[in-house]
Each structure stands twice: as structure tokens, then as C-alpha cells.
Amino acid sequence: MFNGQLACLGTIQHLKSKFSQGYTIEIKVRSTSNDTNMTTIQNVRTPADLFELLEQHKQNLNIEKYTISQTTLEQIFLSIGKKLDADLQ
């Protein structure tokens, strides 16, 4: 619902597949005394490829732990609301 009108309709998986913007990655690194190069991960096609890449570089990037999650339904609703609000202005 947005401004009293139905904005989108579907199952959770339908809404996620239609409006999802990918995955969120949270990486916790161990603190070190020397500078750590921060690397941007781009062009990874599947979550499996991402897991493989993170595991390969876990030691040299001092990765303590990481989590990968899909866009949540709440994030999708907020995104749709922002887009519709911008369209009204």
C-alpha cells in the first residue's frame, strides 16, 4: 500500500525476484597494524562464485567472518515507496 492504493501484489518470492537489487555482503576483518587494502567485489555471477572468492582471499584480507543475504522484503517495500514518492513529486 502506498498513499492508500495497492502498489504491488505477489508472493514473497515473486516480489523478491522482481524488485530485488541483489545481495548484501557484510565482512568483518581482523584489525591489523599495517594498512589493509580494501577490494571491491564486482561481476560475481552467483553466490557460489562469491563464496569461493571470499574463501580464496580470507587469509590475505584478514577476513574474520562474512555473511551474504538477499534483499529483505522490508528493503523492497521501502525502495518501492521511495520510487513512488519520487514519481509523485
Q: In whole angstroms, what is the distance from residue 77 CA to residue 15 CA? A: 9
Q: Which residues pair with 23 in a beta bridge?
A: 70
Beta strands in the chain (DSSP E): 23-29, 63-70
Q: Whole-model pTM?
A: 0.54
Tens digit of pLDDT for each residue in 9-68?
888 888 888 888 777 888 888 876 555 555 666 677 788 888 888 888 888 888 889 888
